[in-house]
Amino acid sequence: MIQYTAKSTETADENQDLVERIFAELDADDPGGMRYATFRLADGVTFVHVVIHETDGNPLDHISAFAEFQKGFGDRVGGPPSFSDATIVGSYRFTG
């Protein structure tokens, strides 16, 4: 799980656009190997990415939209992202 806060509503909107491009490319290419969801919290500037890796590799490494997302990441956020491992305790339709 990755969480970070954008510097402003404008950079949050830009960030959302870049994230949506990642999902469009994932939908088009269907690399498999992971489950992935991104949430924009109610404050409008905080994002949470939940990634479940099903293989040792990271399919995002081969997604050009993800590389584009990473390029200006430091300019869009107010500080470093926090990373946390998590264990699914229960889910409903989240993991397929």
Interval 22-64: pLDDT, tens: 999 999 999 988 999 999 999 999 999 999 888 888 899 999 9
Residue 7's Cβ-count burial label (10 Å; 0-12, 13-18, 19+) is middle
Asked if residue 95 has pLDDT above 80, the reply is: no
Asked if residue 8 has pLDDT above 90, the reply is: yes
Asked if residue 96 has pLDDT above 90, the reply is: no
What number is the average pLDDT over the span 65-80?
96
Asked if residue 82 has pLDDT above 70, the reply is: yes
Measured in whole angstroms, how far is the alpha carbon of residue 36 from the centre of its chain? 7
What is the model's pLDDT at position 19?
98
Give the CATH architecture of domain 2-83: 2-Layer Sandwich (3.30)
